[in-house]
Amino acid sequence: MPLKVIITADFDHMSEVAARIVIDDVKKTLADKETYILGLATGNSPTGLYKHLAKAANTGVFDPSHIESINLDEYIGLPGENAQQRALHRESYSFFMIQELFGLMKRKFKEVNVPWGTLIDQAKLETELKAYPDDWVEQGVDKGKAIVINPDAESEYLRWIRREILDAYGEKIKRTGGIDLHIIGVGGRGHVAFHESGIPFERNEMLLVRLDDNTVANAVADGHFPSKAESPLYAISMGAELVYQARTVVLLANGSRKAESVAASLLNDPSPLIPISYGQILSKNGGTMIYVIDKAAGEYVMDNVDEIRLRGIEIEDVSNKGASRRVADLKFYRDPETCLIG
């Protein structure tokens, strides 16, 4: 199927348009099967969409008890004496999902899943990495690096992380039959989740990532953590190869900081240097890839619209409709019954 880009007016309009896509797919899919598998992301980009999803669930547009969610990533090294405390830390992605979606719904999802990073003891992980340097290799060309643990690692703890934290999460997704639709954001360098620039696509379905020093320093400077000693230094993340195995991927991007990487992912052939460019592979393999971006994030897309269309990518600019127009007016998502915009 062709890769499609929808240019919207602003964050609110982007959220409305994306919500319509997700809700329509949920309704259509649940008409044919019992459980819908929904992939979720954290970060600012999907927060508006999540409010629309919660409202739709609470007003009976779809039944959330038939939805199982799969999240992209989670920190390792959050403050807390045990896994439960770490999972409920205010900066954990588990807690983010409670705040932004799960806690807003009157009826809950059938099951929720967040990568099991909080089960890992960061101090022990660092000790084992130092003690067994031959058990792992580092991948990536940017500051954030993937740590690939050998399946036959000498360290029992590192083997456990690979087997029970990384591989087991990917295997659970496969047992569900795969993700029906995955909502993702995009990092400023074109990365998805913690799949940083330069980490290879192949054989990296689940990643153990060492965070770059700037990421850690910025988290402290922004007040998320009191010091580096109390900050996560690692994360568990789905890799691009696994993210883009979903039947549909909806990528959200707003703001000028995302404009260059969004355009580069469409103007160039797929490359690990721009992880979101993997969406082209999904499209070529028959999946559905949809970018929903605001005008600021789409600036360079519109500057290169003819070249991008020559690559077989469809672009629809609905930004002139703006937030004042009903989402139901969009030509390919008409459904007044489920429209959330009054």
> In this predicted structure, what is the pLDDT of residue 338?
37
| pLDDT, tens digit, 9 for 90 and up, residues 154-177 | 999 999 999 999 999 999 999 999
Residue 196 sits at the vertex; the CA angle it makes with 25 and 111, to the nearest 5 degrees, is 40
Angstrom distance (rounded) from CA 192 to CA 237 = 9
Angstrom distance (rounded) from CA 14 to CA 12 = 5
Nearest to 65 by CA among 41, 28, 85, 38: 38
Nearest to 289 by CA among 69, 89, 45, 2: 2
pLDDT over 70 for what percent of the chain?
94
Q: Could you tell me if 100 and 112 are in contact, meaning their C-beta atoms sit under 8 angstroms apart? A: no
Q: Could you tell me if 23 and 56 are in contact, meaning their C-beta atoms sit under 8 angstroms apart? A: yes
- pTM for the full predicted model: 0.91
Q: Which residues pair with 137 in a beta bridge?
A: 148
Q: Which two tokens stand for residue 95?
A: 């807690």
Average pLDDT of the segment spanning 269-295: 96
Q: Which two tokens stand for residue 257?
A: 């900081």
Give the length of the chain: 342
Least confident piece of the model among 61-65, 99-103, 140-144, 291-295:
140-144
pLDDT over 90 for what percent of the chain?
83
As a dihedral over the C-alpha atoms of residue 13, residue 103, residue 26, residue 182, rounded to 10 degrees, the angle is 70
Tally of CB atoms within 10 A around 116: 18
Q: Give residue 146's identity as a one-letter amino acid code.
A: A
> In this predicted structure, what is the pLDDT of residue 331?
39
> Regarding predicted confidence, which is higher, 218 or 153?
153
Q: Which two tokens stand for residue 63?
A: 């039944």
Angstrom distance (rounded) from CA 242 to CA 47 = 23
| pLDDT, tens digit, 9 for 90 and up, residues 74-123 | 999 999 999 999 999 999 999 999 999 999 999 999 999 999 999 999 99
> In this predicted structure, what is the pLDDT of residue 200?
93
| pLDDT, tens digit, 9 for 90 and up, residues 254-271 | 999 999 999 999 999 999
Average pLDDT of the segment spanning 26-47: 96
Angstrom distance (rounded) from CA 48 to CA 54 = 10
Q: Which two tokens stand for residue 331?
A: 């030509």
Domains of the chain in start order, with CATH, are: 4-338 (3.40.50.1360)
Average pLDDT of the segment spanning 233-260: 96
3-state secondary structure of 30: helix
Angstrom distance (rounded) from CA 269 to CA 95 = 37
- Asked if pLDDT for residue 339 goes beyond 60, the answer is no
Angstrom distance (rounded) from CA 37 to CA 68 = 5
> In this predicted structure, what is the pLDDT of residue 333?
35
